[in-house]
């Protein structure tokens, strides 16, 4: 394959209406609103929260996630160490494989994510009382 392929800003924004996550690139199994760019090696997308959102605890066994904060604030809680990390607009960070975490995001948060390799390796964790309390904090 060669040349260029464009995903228009208007189409990307429209695809995020009513959903919190839209993939731009990847070899995806689930249908997407947006006609994405197919790639077996990497997944790239946007997560957008219009209201405060708690993501269920999980981890990835293989994939490394790189994330760039487009807007808002998000906070992670490492289930193994108890470490808390908060990121704001303009921050770039990485989440390494086997890092078990919970996440909560403020309203109007948008994150560009890059997941390498492109693999469905997400594992859920039990929602403990400790994590429930952390979400409420």
- pLDDT at position 122 is 96
- CATH number of residue 86's parent domain: 2.60.120.10
Residue 43 neighbours by CB distance under 10 Å? 23
What was the pLDDT predicted at 33? 87
Largest CA distance in the chain: 52
pLDDT at 30: 83
Q: What three-state secondary structure class fits 133?
A: helix
The answer to the question of residue 16 being in a domain is yes
For residue 129, is it within any domain? Answer: yes
Does 115 reside within a domain? yes
Q: What is the mean pLDDT of each run of 10 residues along the chain (137 residues)?
A: 91 92 91 90 96 97 98 98 97 98 98 95 95 94
Residue 1 lies in a domain: no
| Token reading at 105 | 């995001």
Residue 22 has a pLDDT of 95
Enter the pTM of the model: 0.93
- Can you give the residue range of the structural domain that contains 37? 10-136
Domain count, the chain: 1
Q: What is the per-residue DSSP string for 6-51?
A: ---HHHHHHHTTT-SEEEEES--SS--SS-PBP-SS-EEEEEEESS
Tell me if 2 is assigned to some domain: no
């Amino acid at each position: 394959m060669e040349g260029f392929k464009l995903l228009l800003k208007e189409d990307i924004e429209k695809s995020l209406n009513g959903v919190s996550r839209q993939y731009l690139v990847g070899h995806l199994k689930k249908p997407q609103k947006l006609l994405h760019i197919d790639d077996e090696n990497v997944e790239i997308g946007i997560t957008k929260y219009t209201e405060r959102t708690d993501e269920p605890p999980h981890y990835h066994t293989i994939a490394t996630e790189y994330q760039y904060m487009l807007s808002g604030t998000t906070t992670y809680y490492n289930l193994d160490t108890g470490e808390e990390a908060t990121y704001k607009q303009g921050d770039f960070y990485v989440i390494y494989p086997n890092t078990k975490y919970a996440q909560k995001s403020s309203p109007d948060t948008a994150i560009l994510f890059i997941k390498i390799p492109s693999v469905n390796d997400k594992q859920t964790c039990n929602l403990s009382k400790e994590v429930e309390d952390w979400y409420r904090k």
